[in-house]
Structure 1
Amino acid sequence: MANYQQLGDVAQLAVPHPDHFLPLLYVLGASTEQDSLCWFNDQFEHEALSMLSLRFDAVSA
């Protein structure tokens, strides 16, 4: 994940500017395998603007 630039042109198209991607590395580092990935805010505004978001929810033991 940290070396996504080395994955070629497709990676460069997926992440044209790293300012929104790099914070994800902190989240991934703070999560555990037991955490549950939850998609939220998956609606489109004006049929074009997406603020798709996800979060890790801790699974209670």
Structure 2
Amino acid sequence: MRDGSETKERIENAALTLFVKRGIAETSIRQIAKTAKVSLGAMYNHYKSKDELAEVLFAELFH
């Protein structure tokens, strides 16, 4: 059974790439999902919002 860690990692990598290229404000959840090759449902299974995703990424970077 898959635990979703691969999907979560793809989402985080895609988000980080897009945030660096475009900025957080100019990056949409749809763009992140498309770049990560996951559905919007998968995005929301892992993160409630783009802001939550950004918080997680920054916490990991500066931990």
Question: Scaled by the length of structure 1, what TM-score is found?
Answer: 0.33
Larger proportion of helix: 2
Larger-gyration structure (1/2): 1
TM-score of the two chains, using structure 2 as the length reference: 0.32
Which structure shows the higher strand fraction? 1
